[in-house]
Amino acid sequence: MGRVAFLFAGQGAQMPGMAGDVKDLPKVRKLFDLAEDIRPGVVDKMLSGTQEELNRTLLTQPTMFLADLAYAYAQEEAAGAPECALGFSVGEVPALCFAGALSEEQAFRAIVRRAELMEAYTERVKGCMIAVVKLPPETVESLCDGENTHPANYNGAQQTVVACRESAEADFTARVKEAGGRAMKLRVSGMFHCPELAPEAAEFETFLRTLDWRAPRMDVYANLTAAPYAGDFASTLARQMCSPVRFTASVAAMKARGIESFVEVGPGKVLTGLVQRG
């Protein structure tokens, strides 16, 4: 397989029954028991909740954390540890935990706090995420006004996700169509990775500074910088909430270091599909 990186899936990949196929592995059972102690009922919702329930940010983020980490443990047990890791948005937290930068308990508490803050934000700011395909990032940037619409996820040469206020959705979608692109609304409950989240990001950073950060056993590439985490981990992770996800640049940096294979840990194969399309 060559030099390998794990890709930890993000919000939007959630699906009913995720991680059910690996729930009986001893390390996964221990993780799930810990999560139940902190947030009772979360594992049952992950394994048997409806799609509608899982799409709510308050539940999406902790269940995605558990599913991603469970699949990473299963993959490591089957094929060995990767050389490095990359988490997409919320997937960055389980990636950091897997690498040892945070304990399972502290990382799960962090994801629960992140979900609470972002759930409250979705009540404060009504919006959505729109994937724009068939247009280069520069064109999508030109269609965003920096007030109601913001480039949020740089996923590839022909796919950029935009954070969009609810009131601007129809107009933005029309402008994408006029430019020759196609707009698809994602199944998330708000507009993320944009400046409107700055107050929540600042509060999250305050929480993150109470945690016991450790040197990771492998490089984890940050969405914020498209480079391995270094220096102030708490600031980097918090600022990610209100900044674009630089997925394309991160993958390019990993390939430049010699990574040959990307293994997605999480439900579905969205990220490996993005890597293949470039």
Decide if pLDDT at 23 tops 90.
Answer: yes
What does pTM read for this prediction?
0.96
pLDDT tens string 46-68: 999 999 999 899 999 999 999 99
Label residue 163 left, alpha or beta by phi (over 0 means left) and psi (-120 to 50 means alpha): beta
The answer on pLDDT for 164 being more than 70 is yes
Helix (H, G, I), strand (E, B) or coil at 264: strand
Q: Which two tokens stand for residue 86?
A: 């990359």
What is the pLDDT averaged over residues 69-91?
97
Q: Which residue has the tokens 């199944």?
A: 187
pLDDT of residue 191: 94
Dihedral of alpha carbons 94, 96, 97, 103, sign: negative
Residue 189, pLDDT > 90, answer: no
Mean pLDDT of 81-104: 98
Interacting residues of 278 by C-beta distance below 8 A, sequence separation 6+: 156, 157, 248
Q: How many alpha carbons fall within 13 Å on the CB side of residue 168?
A: 22
Neighbours of 125 (CB within 10 A): 16
**Hey, how many other C-beta atoms are within 10 angstroms of the C-beta on 258?**
9
Q: DSSP class of residue 274?
A: H
Question: Can you tell me which residue has the tokens 């914020």?
Answer: 224
Cα–Cα distance between 176 and 61 in angstroms, integer?
29
Q: What is the pLDDT of residue 277?
A: 84
Domain limits of the chain?
A: 4-124+194-277, 127-185
pLDDT of 1 higher than 90? no
Average pLDDT of 256-260? 96
Q: In the structure encoding, which two tokens stand for residue 140, read together?
A: 């999508």
Q: How many CB atoms lie within 10 A of CB 50?
A: 9
Give CA torsion, residues 190, 193, 199, 202, to 10 deg: 130
Confidence (pLDDT) at 261: 96
Could you tell me which of 206, 210, 161, 208 has the C-alpha nearest to residue 188? Answer: 161
Alpha helix stretches (DSSP H) within 90-197: 92-98, 104-124, 137-143, 169-178
Q: How far is CA 202 from the centre of its chain?
A: 18
pLDDT surpassing 80 at residue 80: yes
Query: Per CATH, which fold does 127-185 belong to?
Result: Alpha-Beta Plaits (3.30.70)
4-124+194-277 folds as: Malonyl-Coenzyme A Acyl Carrier Protein; domain 2 (3.40.366)
